[in-house]
Amino acid sequence: MTDYPYTSNNSPTNAHEYSVTEVSLALKRTVEDQFGYVRIRGEISGCKRAASGHVYLALKDDKSVLDGVMWKGVAGKLNFRPEDGLEVLVAGKLTTYPGRSKYQIVIDKMEVAGEGALMALLEKRKKEMAAEGLFDPSRKLLIPYLPKVIGVVTSPTGSVIRDILHRLADRFPRHVLVWPVLVQGEGASKQIAEAIDGFNVLEEGGDIPRPDTLIVARGGGSLEDLWCFNEEDVIRAVSRSKIPLISAVGHETDTTLIDFVSDFRSPTPTAAAEKAVPVRDDLIYTVRDLVTRHEKATRRLINELKERVEGLGRGLPKPAELLALSSQRFDELSERLPRALKVGVERHAVRLEGLSRSLRHESILAEVRRSNDQFDILSDRMTRAIDTKLTKTHAEFDSPARLLESLSYHKVLERGFAVIRDDKGKAISDGQKIANGATLGIELRDGIIDAVRTRKPKLKQKKKQDKPEQGTLL
């Protein structure tokens, strides 16, 4: 430290003056020269990703906090997504940020501080999602037995997609749609989630066929390599998928959260292809075996029914015996039928003859004369009733008509009076309301006369002279 001369009142006299920028740059060079490239272990806190893609965070332990920044290019190469609470080991250069008068580390490399930290984070996330019900067995869909179209979400390069296609071709060739995605590193989880949602939005009968089954697959790797299949956006995309989904991530011993939310967990991608379709040859053999068994069962049933019918038939009487009584009765009735017809004809002839005797000419004329006499009597009665009703009805109508005629104003007109009407035909009862020059109609006994109202000036009347008051004697 430089010694500065002081005056008696302890104030510097000739100390060098620095600008704020000079001090900040001096501190920046001192920190960078003193520490250079360092490795730091700590827990992530306040992690956020800016719109530019840069990641800003803080590393802390039980006593201190250190700010850090990771540029977009470094953040894009990570195999996992940094988040609060994750213990990491970072490497980078210590520097200062003059704009805030603070020091920070520019991170060039970040890795999880051992699998224990990742496992702790995985277990925490698993409990949270299980509490939401995302792993509930009741949400799982049935895998179709023989899908027409299979959608595969995986990397377009590598052995995984080749193993799946080869296994499907061996077992039962199907139409396969591959949605290429990253299966490791930054942005992998987003692409996988978008692929699952993309298959679900395809419409039935569209240009691109909608899959009946989905397979999300990846080969084996470390926990960090498979971490994108533990991300929340992937888990939620699988949970809302309406298409049954098979997860095939890693080897049999590898476990990720997608295995818990998928409709079926397959230990390997090859096993996923085996679950997706049956063996075609086995299916053909099974169908043929079922056809053979069905034919045998049908023949056996027919033979059993035939034997049963024959057994029931032996207990029935012979047809000749069943028809013998009816045949005998038919012969008897056929012999009686001619005699019955002859007797019936004779009986009807006798009845007809009796009716013909009752229909003599004289009796018919007498009946007609009797009917005519009754008709005349009824006709006279009806005529008298109609005349009486008409007379009564005329009397009922004449009385109101006479009363209406007596009340009509036309009777008044015959006595020399008149009705004055305005140009609309409305009767006028107040002469003061008739304007000068108004067109009027005067209705008399024998017709209507048109007239026009003319108003003459009133003559002034002489005022009466006041009588002189009588004098008073007092």
Residue 456 confidence (pLDDT): 59
E strand or H helix that includes residue 113: none
Q: What is the pLDDT averaged over residues 335-357?
A: 83
Q: Tens digit of pLDDT for each residue in 170-221?
A: 999 999 999 999 998 878 899 999 999 999 999 988 899 999 999 999 988 8
Label residue 458 by pLDDT band (50, 70, 90): low
421-437 pLDDT, tens per residue? 887 778 887 777 787 87
* C-alpha closest to that of 234 among 264, 193, 295: 193
pLDDT at 169: 93
What is the overall mean pLDDT for the chain? 83
Query: What b/e sequence results for 7-29 when a residue is b if at least 16 CB atoms lie within 10 Å of its CB, and e otherwise?
Result: eeeeeeeeeeeeeeeeeeeeebe
3-state SS, one letter per residue, for 321-379: HHHHHHHHHHHHHHHHHHHHHHHHHHHHHHHHHHHHHHCCHHHHHHHHHHHHHHHHHHH
Longest dimension (CA), the chain: 180
> Do 364 and 425 have their domain in common?
no
Domain membership of residue 131 (yes or no) is no
Give the pLDDT of residue 372: 85
CA dist 118 and 255 (Å) reads: 13
Q: Is residue 120 part of a domain?
A: no
Residue 104: what pLDDT?
84
Q: In the prediction, which pLDDT does 474 show?
A: 36
Nearest to 184 by CA among 230, 151, 241, 116: 230
> Into how many domains does the chain fold?
5
Residues above pLDDT 70, as percent of the chain? 90
Q: How far apart are CA 334 and CA 323, in angstroms?
A: 16
In single-letter form, the type of residue at position 253 comes to T
Query: Quick one: which of 241, 273, 247 has its CA closest to 262?
Result: 247
Rg of the chain (C-alpha set): 61
Q: Establish if 336 belongs to a structural domain.
A: no
pLDDT band at 473 (very low <50, low <70, confident <90, very high): very low
CA 264, CA 275: separation in Å to the nearest integer?
A: 9
Whether 96 is in a domain gets the answer: yes
Q: What pLDDT does 399 receive?
A: 73
Backbone phi, psi, residue 293, to 5°:
-65, -35
pLDDT tens by residue, 252-300: 778 889 999 999 999 999 999 999 999 988 889 999 999 999 999 999 9
Say if residue 301 is in the same domain as residue 250. no
Residue 179 included in any domain:
yes
Q: Are residues 151 and 273 in the same domain?
A: yes
Contact 61, 99 (CB under 8 A): no
C-alpha 388/C-alpha 381 separation (Å) is 11
- Is 461 part of a structural domain of the chain? no
Q: What is the pLDDT of residue 4?
A: 45
Residue 361: phi, psi to the nearest 5? -65, -45
pLDDT value of residue 225: 82
* Domain match, 183 and 211 both: yes
466 pLDDT exceeds 70?
Answer: no
Same domain, 364 and 293: no
Cβ atoms of 264 and 275 closer than 8 Å: yes
Q: Are strands 245-249 and 213-218 parallel, antiparallel or unpaired?
A: parallel
Return the amino acid letter for 62. Answer: D
Question: Could you tell me if 30 and 106 lie in one domain?
Answer: yes
Selection from 114-123, 134-143, 451-460 with the highest mean pLDDT:
134-143
Cβ neighbour number for residue 99 with a 10 Å cutoff:
7
pLDDT band at 12 (very low <50, low <70, confident <90, very high): low
Same domain, 289 and 267: no
DSSP string, 222-234: -TTTTGGGGSHHH
Could you give the strand order of the β-sheet that contains 439-444, starting from the edge strand earlier in sequence? 419-421, 439-444, 447-452
Q: What is the pLDDT of residue 26?
A: 78
Does 98 lie in the same domain as 189? no
Q: What is the pLDDT of residue 86?
A: 80
Determine the Cα–Cα distance for residues 46 and 372; give it in Å rounded to an integer. 126
Q: Give the span between the Cα atoms of 34 and 29, in whole angstroms.
A: 8
Domain boundary among 68, 95, 113: 113
Domain annotation covers residue 34: yes
| In a domain? residue 407 | no
The DSSP H or E segment spanning 104 is strand 102-112
How many Å apart are CA 326 and CA 440, to the nearest integer? 111
What CATH number does residue 261 fall under?
3.40.50.261
Sign of CA dihedral 351, 355, 357, 358: positive
Instruction: Answer yes or no: pTM beyond 0.75.
Output: no
Whether 270 contacts 263, CB under 8 Å? no
Residues 79 and 165 in one domain: no
Counting residues of the chain whose pLDDT is more than 90, the rounded percentage is 29
Q: Are residues 101 and 175 in the same domain?
A: no
- Do 259 and 169 share a structural domain? yes
Domain that holds residue 259: 147-277
Q: How far is residue 348 from each of residues 284, 335, 339, measured CA to CA in Å? A: 84, 22, 14
Give the separation between CA 195 and CA 83, rounded to whole angstroms.
Answer: 24
Answer yes or no: do 68 and 168 share one domain.
no
CATH code of the domain containing 76: 2.40.50.140
Pairing mode of beta strands 102-112, 87-97? antiparallel
